[in-house]
Structure 1
């Protein structure tokens, strides 16, 4: 009995549960367990220190844990020497060139996430020289979006042309981000050029690029009206909010 009493008072929920079931009256249903506290999902049976329910917890959820030591060292070094071309070039030859494929791709992705566009371009150029490199639409897409968000539109369009030379085509998200980038850059004409290119794409257009243009072209009613007519033709069941005429400077 003393042993059973110790087990019942155990700090481990699983042991308390099993002990309670064993001490029930033999005529009582084993599925009716009175006086057993319902523990939080993450603490059931194994205790909070032994079981994790898979939900994000802390900064490791953002992917930092997946970056290896070599890749992390290279990222820090690149950012340290980014303003000194001579030191940066030496660092690229001495450390970046030795990275394995996955580490090199990881470095590229992290630089894009941190909006280090110029460094990302250098890493991308090195990846293109690797023996294992094959044109991949997602590598181009991520780099173009990162550059567009950093307002490096000239560089973004250079990568854009390089992608097309590889017989790869942008998707709707890429079009949307490049159009948004040109509108932020104050170049509605360039945004319209990308829009015209999008209409020729083999993939059917989606709403997002149209919505971005319709909002960004408010100061340019003639261009906006062109986009609006196309939108109404392609998406007849969708609605567009038109602001009062005063916003366009008309009465």
Structure 2
């Protein structure tokens, strides 16, 4: 008991002395300075330097953030609405009349591009049909190209050919990549006759054909020797310095 009393009295004495010293001198001049003066070379790691932050502020980084900024809120709302009602034709048409038609030009084009990116090709075609009815619309071969290629890659060749006919009515001609993807789509779909029709159109186009569509046809027409020989003959005339590979006869027969 006596020891405890002595210890408490010592603590109280020290505290009283410390309080008296603090009252006599300001805390900035006290010997018990809490934070030393920073030297000129001292760096505060908690402050940003040269515009860089040392922590993540919660904002998305990279292309995702930049891509979202390019699409307005109204366009994003329309994209979500179209995807929501795509299986209900009646509600979809009502949504198109109340929201899609009232979009501005840039928002409408952004909706079309984003639907293509998400492979919502049928919805993209509906939006394109609305765009074609706008006063500011001018025939654009690149819009047709992107849509036709997207449809061909999604194995929707009927829709792709409807757009193909519309493109030709507007006196627009497909490029080499469009021919290639449509020919590949028909061959993948098991329709070599349709692929040959596109081939004939390619040969008659004002731009000279390139090598890639011929290569795809020569490979896809292996089970059809007569059609393949016809394409091979044209290929050798247009590209005499190139070689067309023929597989062994025991695999597909004699060509």
TM-score above 0.5: yes
Counterpart residue number, 1:171 = 175
Counterpart residue number, 1:140 = 144
Q: Distance in 1 between matches of 2:137 and 2:242?
A: 42
Provide closer, same or farther for how the CA distance between residues 10 and 157 of structure 1 changes in structure 2, counting only shifts above 3 A: same
Counterpart residue number, 1:117 = 121
RMSD after superposition: 2.5
Q: Distance in 2 between matches of 1:145 and 1:62?
A: 25
5+ residue gaps, structure 2: 1-36, 56-60
Secondary structure, aligned partner of 2:180 = helix
Provide closer, same or farther for how the CA distance between residues 48 and 229 of structure 1 changes in structure 2, counting only shifts above 3 A: farther
Provide closer, same or farther for how the CA distance between residues 166 and 48 of structure 1 changes in structure 2, counting only shifts above 3 A: same
5+ residue gaps, structure 1: 16-44, 51-56
Secondary structure, aligned partner of 1:99 = coil
Counterpart residue number, 2:33 = none
1:213 aligns with 2:217: yes
Larger Rg, first or second structure (1 or 2): 2
Counterpart residue number, 1:53 = none
For residue 232 of structure 2, the aligned residue among 228, 235, 243 is 228
Counterpart residue number, 1:92 = 96
Structure 1 window deviating more from structure 2 (201-210 vs 114-123): it is: 114-123
Counterpart residue number, 1:5 = 41
Q: What's the CA shift for 1:62?
A: 8.5
Q: Distance in 2 between matches of 1:10 and 1:186?
A: 69
Q: Distance in 2 between matches of 1:84 and 1:242?
A: 50
Residue deviations 1:6-60, cap 9 Å, x none?
A: 2xx4659x98xxxxxxxxxxxxxxxxxxxxxxxxxxxxx654769xxxxxx6561
1:158 aligns with 2:194: no
Q: Distance in 1 between matches of 2:243 and 2:63?
A: 41
Counterpart residue number, 2:27 = none
The count of aligned residue pairs is 213
Residue deviations 1:186-208, cap 9 Å, x none?
A: 10000001001100111111112
Using structure 1 for the length normalisation, give the TM-score: 0.77
Provide closer, same or farther for how the CA distance between residues 58 and 218 of structure 1 changes in structure 2, counting only shifts above 3 A: farther
Using structure 2 for the length normalisation, give the TM-score: 0.76
Residue deviations 1:202-232, cap 9 Å, x none?
A: 1111112111111111111221121122112
Secondary structure, aligned partner of 1:147 = helix
